[in-house]
Structure 1
Amino acid sequence: MDWLQVVILAVFQGLTEFLPVSSSAHLILVPKFTDWGDQGLAFDVALHLGSLAAVVAYFRQELRSMATAWLASLGGARGNADARLGWWVLLATVPVCVFGLLFRDVIALGMRSPLLLVASLIGFGLLLGYADWGHRGRRSEYQLTLRDALVIGFAQALALIPGTSRSGITITAALLLGLSREASARFSFLLSIPVILLAGGLEALGLFRQPQAIDWTALGVGTLLSGVSAYLCIHYFLAFIRRIGMQPFVIYRLVLGAWLLWVFWP
C-alpha cells in the first residue's frame, strides 16, 4: 500500500464507523474508484483496533462504572442503572452475532451489489430522517428497558446489509423508542465496542490461516489515524446532533445514493 491509501482508508474507517452513513458502503466504494488493491486482513484489523481504542477512551468513565456495577450484579448485588446498561449492551449484541455467524458467507459473497448499497443508503436514510423528525424523546440510555435493548439489538443485525450503517440503524431504533438524540448516539457507540471487538477478533483469526508479510509501519500509522479520527468524530458528532440533529446525514445519504444510482444504473 502507498501512504495515500493508508491515510484515506484509515480516516474513512475512523469517521464512517460512527457516523450514520455506512462505513461498509464507503470502504466498498473506495476501491471501485481507485486502482488500489485489497489492503489485506492485517490492515483491516489495525483499523478496527484504532476505532475500538477511540470509543473505549472516550467512554472510559462510563465503562468503568458499568463494569464495576455489572460484576457486582453477578455476585448478587442489587443492579443499579450502570449494571442494567451493561446488561443491555451485552444482550443487544447477541442478535448481530447470531445472524452474522449464520449468514456470514451470504453477506460476504452475495450482498456486495452497488444497487443494494443504493437501496440501503436511501431507504434507511429516509427511516433515520423519519425517526429524527417526529419520534425523538427525552429518555437517556440509562432508562432503557429489556424490550428496548432487544429491539435495538435486532435493528443492529440489519447493519449486516452493506449500506445500512450500524450506527445509523441503532440510532434510528433508539429514536423511535423515545430516546433523545444524544442518548441514542451514546448507546449506539457503547454497542459498537463488543461488535468491533468481535469483528476484529474474527479478522485476526483469519491472519493465522493466511500468513502474509506485514508492513508494521503502515499498520501503526493506520491504527493511529483511525483512532484519532474516530475519537474526534464521536466528540463532535455528539455536540453536532444536540444542536442540529440528523438531517444533514440524511441528506448526505440521499445524495450519495442518488449519485451511485446514476453511476451504476445498468
Structure 2
Amino acid sequence: MTRVTIDSLGWRVVADFLQAVFLGVLQGLTEFLPISSSAHLRIFPDLFGWGDPGAAFTAVIQIGTELAVLVYFRKDIWRIARAWVLSLFKPEYRGALDARMGWYIIVGSLPIVVLGILLKDVIERDFRNLWIIGSTLIVLGLVLGLADRIGRNEKAIKQMRLRDALLMGGAQAMALIPGVSRSGATLSMGRFLGYEREAATRFAFLLAIPAVVGAGLFELKEIGDVGKAHAGEADYGWGPTITATVVSFIVGYAAIAWLLRWVSTKSYTPFVVYRVLLGAAVLILLGAGVLSS
C-alpha cells in the first residue's frame, strides 16, 4: 500500500511538471499576441481536465514573459528610466521624449493597478467564468479588427501624448477580465487613436511591465497555499510554478521578435479570426457540457 502511494505521488509530481511546461509554453506564445494568454490558461487546462490553474498561478508565470520584455527592450528601458530620473532634477530633460515616455508609462499603469486592487476578489472568483471568457474573446476580437481597419496609421511613438497614454492605460485595464487580452485592448485603443501598428505594439509592451510584474509579485504569497485556493483550482506549488515561469520567459522572448516583424508589414486579421473561432468553440463546448463554467 505504501509503495503504491509513493508511486502515485511520484507520477503526480511528474504530471504537475509536465503540465507546467505546457502552460509555460502556452503563456509564452500567447502573452504578446492579442489573443489573451489568461484566457488560454483558463480554457485549455479545463479542456484537458487539469482544473483551473488559478489567478495567482497565471499572474506569477506572466513575470517570465515580462522578464523577456525587460531583456528584449533593455536598451529602450534603460534610456527611458535614465531620462525620467534626470528630468526630476534637471529641467532641460523634461521635454525629452524618453522622459515623457517614463511619465506616460506611469500614468498609463494607474488604471489597471487601481482596478486590480479594488476588484481582486471579483477577478479571481467571477471574471474567470468561461461564458464570460468566450464572449470577450469574440467581442474584443471584433473590436480589434474594427480598430485595425479604421486606424489612420499616421502617428509614430514620438507623437505620444499624456491623454493617449491614459486612454491606452484604461484600455489595458479591461484585460483584468480574461479573454480581453492586455495587448489586444491596448493595441485596439492605439489603432483607434491613429498610431502605427509597430508604435502601438511597442508602447503596449512597455506599458504592461509595471502592471504584470506588480501583479505577479503581489500574488506570490498565494502560490502553494492550498487554503487560499478557490474551489476547482489546481495547486501547482512552487516547483511547477517556477518551471512554467522559466519556460514562458524563453518562449516569450522569441514571440516578441516574431510579433514585431509581423506587425511592421501585416494586419491583425489572423488574430481576429482566431479569437472569434476560439470564443465560439468555447461557447459551443460549454453549451454541449464538454466544458464547465
User: Same fold, TM exceeding 0.5?
Assistant: yes
How far the C-alpha of 1:159 sits from its partner, in A, is 0.9
Separation in 2, partners of 1:24, 1:83 = 32
| 1:52-131 aligned within 5 A | 52-78=66-92, 79=94, 80-131=96-147
Distance 2:65 2:53 in 1: 17
Q: How many residue pairs align between the two structures?
A: 265
Q: Aligned runs of 1:1-266 on 2, under 5 Å?
A: 1=13, 2=15, 3-37=17-51, 39=53, 44=58, 47-78=61-92, 79=94, 80-207=96-223, 216=239, 218-265=240-287
Secondary structure at 1:243 match in 2: coil
Higher mean C-alpha displacement, 110-119 vs 16-25: 110-119
Deviation per CA, 1:20-76, whole angstroms, max 9, x where unpaired? Answer: 001111111122112325657885565223112100001001001001100011113
Deviation at 1:168, TM superposition (A): 0.2
1 CA distance for matches of 2:58 and 2:40? 14
Instruction: Report the alpha carbon displacement of residue 223 of structure 1 after superposing the two structures with TM.
Output: 2.8
CA-to-aligned-CA distance 1:104-131 (integer Å, 9 cap, x gap) = 1112112222221121111110010011
How big is the alpha-carbon RMSD for the aligned residues of Structure 1 and Structure 2? Answer: 2.2
Range with bigger deviation, 75-84 or 180-189: 75-84
Q: In 1, distance between residues paired with 2:246 and 2:262?
A: 24
**By how many angstroms is 1:208 displaced?**
9.1
Q: 2: CA distance between counterparts of 1:225 and 1:205?
A: 21
Measured in 2, the distance between the counterparts of 1:208 and 1:77 equals 48
What SS does structure 1 have at the residue aligned with 2:32?
coil
User: 1:168-206, CA deviations, whole angstroms, 9 ceiling, x for partnerless residues?
Assistant: 000000111111000111100001110111111111133
CA distance in 1, matches of 2:276, 2:211: 26
Distance 1:180 1:61 in 2: 21
Report the Cα offset of residue 10 of structure 1: 0.3
**Paired letter, 1:130:** L
What letter is aligned with 1:8?
Answer: F
Percent identity among equivalent residues?
Answer: 41
> SS of the counterpart of 2:91?
coil
Question: Unaligned regions of 5+ residues in structure 2, if any?
Answer: 1-12, 228-234, 289-293
SS at match of 2:183: helix
| Off by >6 Å, runs of 4+ in structure 1 | 208-213
For structure 1, list consecutive stretches of 5 or more residues without a partner in the other structure. none
Structure 2 residue matching 1:223: 3-state secondary structure:
helix
Moved more, 33-42 or 175-184: 33-42
